[in-house]
């Protein structure tokens, strides 16, 4: 059996979908559904059972999942970059991950793959290298990034990472992110703005070396992120921390243009001021260094941004009535 924590979430549900397509349904979903509509991500999935994340740790302590587990794919976390409760993030992202790692560390024979984040790279001034000696120098800009960074450091210091895989996901977008509220991707926000306003709002640049809308991100489609994740199920000897991006930075103007094109709409971008204080902690550029992932045997090509956005808009957003326009009117 494969355990997928955060299995009802964005990346987790796409992982289970891909496992199902490969004929695998011996899956235990661990998550916290609360009052969100995240449960709808489970509707089309096949799995053996579901456990609340709060109950799951207690069950582990009783030894209920000590046998028969082939892999733990740990995607569960609070992914809000604006979460202010530091104790909650420490318990949920760092403490929970550490408890799972301790349970399935050692010589258990369980493949352990967990989600880190590109948020650990902070403002990017210390580079985007996923080599372990470079990771120790990073300084995240928010508590979410720090909680992820702390577990990376623990995994490296204890040697756990030598028998596990940590994946630093960059800007992932795609199906099953409806429930994420203000943490939805730029792609889905742009889609709803075009549909409701016939325009997209982007932040103005506060730096002379970047024109408005030319701030860059490494956008990666969730289908590609899942391929990279499941690659490590088949490579038990490939361990360590790896970037999961495309290695190709694209700007927000490119992404907005891709949404207009997918909807066959005339392009209309409006540039607005950043909220006060955001300019002090704003990333103008992110780009994954991909050599390490390629060296681990991952050879698949990533979808071009334009093709990924078109697939998302035409085959998912236009077909699914769940979406409501997000409350935030701008981003970047």
Mean predicted lDDT score pLDDT of the chain: 92
Query: What are the strands, taking DSSP E only, across the chain?
Result: 2-5, 27-31, 49-52, 71-74, 111-117, 165-169, 171-173, 200-203, 216-217, 219-221, 240-244, 250-251, 269-272
Q: Summarize pLDDT for 264-286 with one digit per residue, the tens.
A: 999 999 999 998 877 777 888 99
- The stretch 58-77 carries a mean pLDDT of 91
What pLDDT, on a 0 to 100 scale, did the predictor assign at position 129?
96
Q: Which residue has the tokens 């569960």?
A: 76
Does the pLDDT at position 91 exceed 80?
Answer: yes
Specify the pLDDT at position 277: 75
Catalytically annotated residue among 180, 199, 204, 235: 180
Is residue 331 scored above 50 in pLDDT? Answer: no
What Rg value do the Cα atoms of the chain yield, rounded? 19
Q: What are 300-313's pLDDT values in tens digits?
A: 999 999 999 999 99
H or E element that contains 294: helix 291-295
- Residue 50: per-residue pLDDT: 96
pLDDT score of 253: 98
- pLDDT mean over 129-155: 94
Task: Please state the rounded mean pLDDT for residues 81-99.
Answer: 88
Confidence band of 213 (pLDDT split at 50, 70, 90):
very high
User: Given pLDDT bands bounded at 50, 70 and 90, which one contains residue 195?
Assistant: very high
Tell me if 167 sits within 8 A of 244, measured CB to CB.
yes
Q: pLDDT per residue over 98-110, tens digit each?
A: 999 999 877 678 9
Q: Say if residues 155 and 166 touch (Cβ distance below 8 Å).
A: yes
The rounded distance, in Å, linking the Cα atoms of 151 and 141 is 16
Annotated catalytic residue 180: yes
Q: What is the pTM of this model?
A: 0.94
**Among residues 75, 106, 105, which one has the least CA distance to residue 92?**
75
- Of 59-68, 91-100, 132-141, 169-178, minimum mean pLDDT range: 59-68
- Residue 326: band (very low, low, confident or very high) from pLDDT cuts 50, 70, 90: very low
Q: How far separated are the first and last CA of the chain, in Å rounded?
A: 40
Catalytic residue among 144, 169, 191, 284: 144
Domains of the chain: 2-171+220-244 (3.40.50.720), 178-218+248-290+303-317 (3.90.25.10)
pLDDT tens, position by position, 160-182: 999 999 999 999 999 999 988 88
pLDDT category of residue 324 using cuts at 50, 70 and 90: low
Give the percent of the chain with pLDDT over 70: 96
């Amino acid at each position: 059996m494969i355990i997928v924590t955060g299995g009802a979430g964005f990346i987790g549900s796409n992982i289970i979908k891909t496992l199902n397509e490969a004929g695998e349904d011996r899956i235990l979903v661990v998550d916290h559904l609360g009052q969100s509509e995240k449960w709808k991500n489970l509707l089309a999935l096949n799995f053996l059972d579901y456990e609340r994340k709060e109950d799951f740790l207690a069950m582990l302590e009783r030894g209920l999942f000590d046998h028969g587990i082939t892999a733990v794919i740990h995607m569960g976390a609070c992914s809000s970059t604006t979460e202010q409760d530091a104790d909650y993030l420490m318990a949920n992202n760092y403490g929970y991950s550490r408890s799972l790692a301790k349970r399935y560390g050692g010589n258990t024979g369980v493949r352990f793959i967990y989600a880190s984040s590109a948020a650990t790279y902070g403002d990017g001034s210390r580079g985007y290298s996923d080599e372990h000696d470079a990771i120790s120098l990073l300084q995240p800009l928010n508590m979410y990034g720090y909680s992820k960074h702390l577990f990376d450091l623990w995994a490296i210091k204890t040697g756990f990472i030598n028998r596990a895989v940590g994946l630093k996901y960059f800007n992932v977008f795609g199906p099953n992110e409806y429930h994420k509220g203000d943490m939805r991707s730029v792609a889905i926000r742009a889609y709803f703005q075009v549909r409701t306003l016939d325009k997209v709002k982007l932040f103005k640049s506060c730096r002379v070396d970047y024109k408005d809308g030319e701030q860059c991100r490494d956008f990666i489609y969730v289908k590609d992120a899942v391929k990279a994740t499941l690659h490590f199920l088949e490579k038990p000897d490939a361990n360590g921390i790896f970037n999961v991006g495309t290695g190709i930075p694209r700007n927000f103007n490119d992404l907005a243009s891709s949404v207009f094109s997918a909807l066959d709409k005339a392009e209309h971008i409006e540039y607005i001021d950043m909220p006060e204080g955001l300019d002090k902690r704003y990333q103008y550029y992110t780009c994954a260094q991909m050599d390490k992932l390629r060296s681990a045997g991952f050879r698949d090509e990533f979808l071009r941004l334009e093709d990924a956005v078109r697939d998302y808009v035409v085959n998912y957003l236009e077909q699914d009535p769940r979406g409501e326009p997000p409350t935030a009117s701008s981003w970047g």
